[in-house]
Structure 1
Amino acid sequence: MTNLSYVPLEQPIVFTLQGFVVATDEGYPLFVVSLLVYMVMIIGNGTVFMVIVADKKLHKPMYVMVCNLAVCDLLGGTAVMTRLMSDFLTGDKTISYVAAYSQAFTVHTYGSAAPTILSAMAYDRYIAICEPLRYHTIMTAWRLAGLCILAWFIAIGLVAVLFMLNIGTPLCGTLILHVYCSNRSILSLACVPTPINNIYGLCMTWFLSTGSFLVIAFSYIKILIACLVKREKNSKSKAIQTCATHLAVYVLFEFATVLIIVTQRFEEVSPNAKKFCAILFVIIPPAVNPIIYGIVTKEIRTSVFRLFKSPVLPKESKK
């Protein structure tokens, strides 16, 4: 006999996100907190993006890539936080089939594009510090555009294949035991084993994590050697300061990623704590990255002050 709980569902499906298990009267305070966090993301990344686009002095490879990272952070933060705020405000945790896959695709694109963009930034720093005389010859406008397109193409292409493997997979449930939709949470509802999907997902994660680590490690080892060889103190300090900013952003992203993996492995961790750590993956980097670049990077900090400085009225000409 066929178990009724394993009867494939017809498409389209309306899923239900389990979300956070909170009392009814806690929804509004959590909505306010979520809104404040989201505003920090929007204002921070929006300011960095606007300043880099508006200031021609910042139309340099490093800042163009920072602009791409800001867009990536906005994608991930918006995909999760807007839905989370809606859940807290209305209490309605249903999500359509298209919306669920759209959110999952966007979240995975954010998680995949961040390391590829950071790898491109590491390569740019390597050329700038190790090959300063050839930097403008190597990092031309066309090569910069190609590097940015390649970073996004790798991320979107890998994620597209991941979700194309899901097409036609029969689902036998509608309750997603997570706070937002992801490939893993949707596949957990599959009626049949999905070994190809799982193997591809693991290979994709390994490729992105290992590939970005190797590129960044190679770049920074070369940069460290170049800094040790250089005798000028000003060149050393500027190189170290520039690289420290990028390295801090990379470590922050990896920390948020490892936090999810570690908490999911321990059954002692409460469901709400696991979901909160999963949310931090799309909260910490997008909220903190603009602060790191705004405070440490002098050029961006100066441009921000110049942009928001009140214009001084011109003095009247003497008659």
Structure 2
Amino acid sequence: MENQTFNAQILSIEGLKVSPASSVPAFVLLLLIYVFIMVSNVGLVLLISTERSLHQPMYLLFCNMSINDAFGATVVIPRLLSDVFTPVTQRYIHYYECVLQAFASHFHAGASHAVLMIMAFDRYMAICNPLRYAAIMTTRMVVKLSAGAWVAAFISVAILLGLTIRLTRCRRVIMNPFCDNASLFKLSSQNLLINHIYGLGSAVVILGSSLGSITLTYLRIAIMCFSSKNKVLSSKALQTCATHLAVYVIMLVSSFTPMIMHRNPQWADSGKVASVMFHVVPPALNPIIYGLNCKELRQKIISVFYRSEVKISQDKLYRNN
């Protein structure tokens, strides 16, 4: 059966490999993480959307990141939660659902790199060209750059998955916690040279452009800050950049950890679990990092909680009277 080409629409998916004794703790932990990701990221988007003082390019880009993070987590985590209590031999997924999940997973990754590159450009313009910043980084420009990032990621991933779904399949087992392009084209016994070339080429272009642009951008920012006579402004600028770099490093570590583990047989199973990190760790940490390090956001968050507490206190006082 494995060597015969067929068009089976139902695939078997490995999912998370957890023992029966660990099913409940794994489910609870993953559910809590997902709830936190959705509440923190959606809350950040709502806060920025409703506060007119935060309608600035930097915060609009935060919205982009939060929307993408919530989307990336939703692509993977709900499916993992639904499979935790299902035996590995009974975990199935329809082929078109697997393709959609793979598309969304890669789209999330591509959009993450693109949005962070735009954020680096925004910080560069704000610090190195402050007099031209307001004229260049308008709301319209931010919308154009954001739309360009999402469209570029969409087209790149559409080609990637298009090359995969053209293949005939002779296997039906997805050896991964969730569907991605590699696990899909491994279902075929056809020549995969074109898939490997495009997949590797697109990964090199995305990683190379993001690493190159962010490295050059922040080198120029660092040089300008260290040569500036205004140490207060330089310190503030470096702190803002450090926040962005921390987010980028977390994303890279989450991306490369499973790739390294997959190439060591003794870590193969751990590498499969680590592949979920990209959809869990950055979406959970990004709102914390920006919320704690961005003074304006921190003040708005505190003021929202303060107003809520005052309103609750007033309601209690009104009821008691």
- Band of TM-score, shorter chain: over 0.9
Aligned twin of 1:126: 124
Structure 2 partner of 1:241: 239
Please give the TM-score of this superposition, normalised by the length of structure 2.
0.93
Distance 1:162 1:149 in 2: 20
Between the aligned partners of 1:120 and 1:135, the Cα distance in structure 2 is 14
Q: Distance in 2 between matches of 1:198 and 1:211?
A: 20
2:140 alignment counterpart: 142
Q: Deviations over 1:1-36 (max 9, x none)?
A: xxx42211225x111111233333432222111101
Distance 1:195 1:126 in 2: 40
Say yes or no: does 1:60 pair with 2:56: yes
- The two structures, once aligned, show a CA RMSD in angstroms of 1.8
How far residue 307 of structure 1 moved from its aligned partner, in angstroms, is 2.0
Q: Say which SS state the counterpart of residue 33 (structure 1) adopts.
A: helix
- Residue identity in the other structure for 1:276: V
1:243-267: CA deviations, max 9, x gaps?
1110100011011111011101111
Residue 17, structure 1, aligned to residue 44, structure 2 = no
**Mapped contact 2:262–2:268 kept (Cα < 8 A):** no
Corresponding position: 1:289 with 2:286: yes
Matching residue of 1:298:
295
**Is this contact kept in 2: 1:178–1:185, CA < 8 A?**
yes
Q: 1:79 aligns with which of 75, 83, 86?
A: 75
Find the aligned partners of 1:32 and 1:167 in 2 and give their Cα distance.
35
Greater relative CO (CA pairs within 8 A, separation 6+):
1
- Measure the CA separation in 2 of the matches of 1:250 and 1:154: 19
1:221 positional shift: 1.3
Per the alignment, residue 193 of structure 1 pairs with 191
Aligned residues of 1:260 and 1:281 also touching (Cα < 8 A)? no
- Larger helix percent: 2
Identity %: 35
Aligned to 2:219: 221
Q: Given the alignment of the two structures, is residue 207 of structure 1 paired with residue 205 of structure 2, yes or no? A: yes
What is the distance in 2 between the residues matched to 1:58 and 1:22? Answer: 43
Q: Is contact 2:164-2:184 (8 Å) kept?
A: no
Structure 2 residue aligned with 1:104: 102
CA contact (8 A) 2:57 2:137 kept: yes
The Cα offsets for residues 35-74 of structure 1, whole Å up to 9 and x where unpaired, read as 0111121122112111111111111111111110111111
Tell me the distance in 1 between the aligned counterparts of 2:182 and 2:64: 27
Amino acid at match of 1:57: S
Q: Distance in 2 between matches of 1:267 and 1:118?
A: 33
The alpha carbon displacement at 1:268 in A equals 1.6
SS, match of residue 269 in structure 1: helix
For 1:140 and 1:77, locate their aligned partners in 2 and report how far apart those are by CA, in whole Å: 30
1:183 equivalenced with 2:181 (yes/no): yes
Aligned length: 311
* Residue from 20, 38, 44 that aligns with 1:42: 38
Cα distance in structure 2, aligned partners of 1:220 and 1:20: 38
User: Following the alignment from structure 1 to structure 2, what is the Cα–Cα distance between the partners of residues 225 and 274?
Assistant: 38
Structure 2 unaligned residues grouped into runs of 5+: none
Question: In the alignment, residue 294 of structure 2 is paired with which amino acid?
Answer: T
CA distance in 2, matches of 1:8, 1:230: 66
Structure 1 position 302, deviation (Å): 1.1
Superposed, which structure 2 residues align to 1:141-180 within 5 Å?
141-180=139-178
> SS where residue 295 of structure 1 aligns?
helix
CA distance in 2, matches of 1:242, 1:23: 43
Q: What is the CA distance between 1:90 and its match in structure 2?
A: 4.1
